Amino acid sequence: MLNGSTQGEVFLIGAGPGDPELLTLKALRMMQEADVVVHDRLVSQAILDLIPANVQRIDVGKKPNHHPVPQHEINALLLRLAEAGQRVARVKGGDPMIFGRGSEEAAVLRDAGIPVSFAPGITAAQGVSASTGVPLTHRGLAKSVRYVTGHCRGDMPLDLDWDGLAHTDTTLVVYMGHANMQYIAGELMNHGLPAEHPVLVVVNGTRPNETRLVTQLGALQTKRAVIPVPGPVLFIVGRVVSLLDDMGQNATDAILDAPELRQVLHG
Ligand code: SAH
């Protein structure tokens, strides 16, 4: 309820990768109890449709000029709404604490004395693992899993712990990787991974238009990953990719040759 005399609060909510059935009950309740929802571009329409019609929505995923609203403006907006007594649902794709800047927003709000609570979300890696049937760990194939960002702030070079990442028994999940995946594949091979090491590329994971491609590090390094299908892209690098349901003996080539996938990855 809007009430100028009482302080508002902010719910930092993970909406998951897109499929509305992956929302937690807590996330849904918080969205429905809010006065206003502030959401990102990655929050799917199917999830926005669950917000009651009387709840105000603010899309900070894009401005009229198509650029996202800068983080400091989002922080200021959340603060302003909460200080005006509103219950604010800040809804983010996936999990707000995994490459989601949820903790940055929480810090600003807490510094101003605004109560903050969280609802975790299914992160893209886990959503895609479930939708494709590719596990992130598997006895004999992957003893550990690492989530890494494929993109650094501004023009900063991508400075990852390549030696630590290039292990055949580790699954690597690369978020925000599509612009740098050629470089990432090259560095992983320079640090010891074989050119045949499998890679699963998933666009729009868990959504009705989910698109998959199976390839290998060597191919990724030499071909430019052009993703004309609009939507978020996740890369899963590791031997676990061999467990993809519909992958037979020679399926890698078959899948690379499939016309609908040629649009996803071409040289
Ligand atoms: N907090 C989010 C990640 C935000 S970073 C989470 O926990 O999932 C944005 C990146 O997440 C995208 O560039 C993409 O790599 C990945 N991503 C998010 N949703 C996705 C989806 N439905 N399918 C594929 N990748 C997704």
Residues with catalytic function: 40, 62, 176
Report the alpha-carbon distance of residue 85 to residue 105 in Å, rounded. 18
For residues 176 and 253, membership in a common domain is answered with: yes
For residues 208 and 189, membership in a common domain is answered with: yes
Per-residue pLDDT, 5: 55
Per-residue pLDDT, 134: 97
Is residue 4 in some structural domain?
A: no
Q: What is the CATH number of the domain that holds 228?
A: 3.30.950.10
Distance 93 CA to ligand 1 centre (A): 7
Per-residue pLDDT, 152: 80
Decide which of 71, 93, 119 is a domain's last residue: 119
Per-residue pLDDT, 65: 63
- Helix boundaries (H) for the chain: 25-33, 45-48, 71-83, 102-111, 124-132, 162-165, 181-190, 217-222, 251-257, 259-262
Per-residue pLDDT, 4: 47
pLDDT, averaged across the chain: 88
Is residue 88 in some structural domain?
A: yes
Sign (positive or negative) of CA dihedral 50, 54, 55, 57 = positive
- pTM for the model stands at 0.89
Decide which of 68, 99, 119 is a domain's last residue: 119
Q: What is the CATH number of the domain that holds 78?
A: 3.40.1010.10
Pocket test for ligand 1, best of 21, 23, 42 (most atoms within 8 A of CB): 42
Is residue 1 in some structural domain?
A: no
Per-residue pLDDT, 140: 95
Strand partners, 175: 149
Per-residue pLDDT, 266: 37
For residues 26 and 98, membership in a common domain is answered with: yes
Is residue 115 in some structural domain?
A: yes
Decide which of 119, 141, 174 is a domain's last residue: 119
Domain range for 71 is: 9-119
For residues 102 and 222, membership in a common domain is answered with: no
- Helix boundaries (H) for 114-180: 124-132, 162-165
For residues 110 and 194, membership in a common domain is answered with: no
Strand partners, 16: 94
Per-residue pLDDT, 9: 97
Distance 175 CA to ligand 1 centre (A): 6
Q: Give the number of domains in the chain.
A: 2
pLDDT along the chain (267 residues), means of 10: 70 97 97 96 93 94 74 95 98 96 94 97 98 96 97 82 96 93 95 96 94 91 68 95 67 42 41
- Residue 138's contacts (CB-CB under 8 Å, 6 or more residues apart) are 240, 243
User: Which amino acids bring their CB within 6 angstroms of ligand 1?
Assistant: 17-18, 42, 92-95, 98-100, 123-124, 128, 175-176, 202, 204-207, 232-234
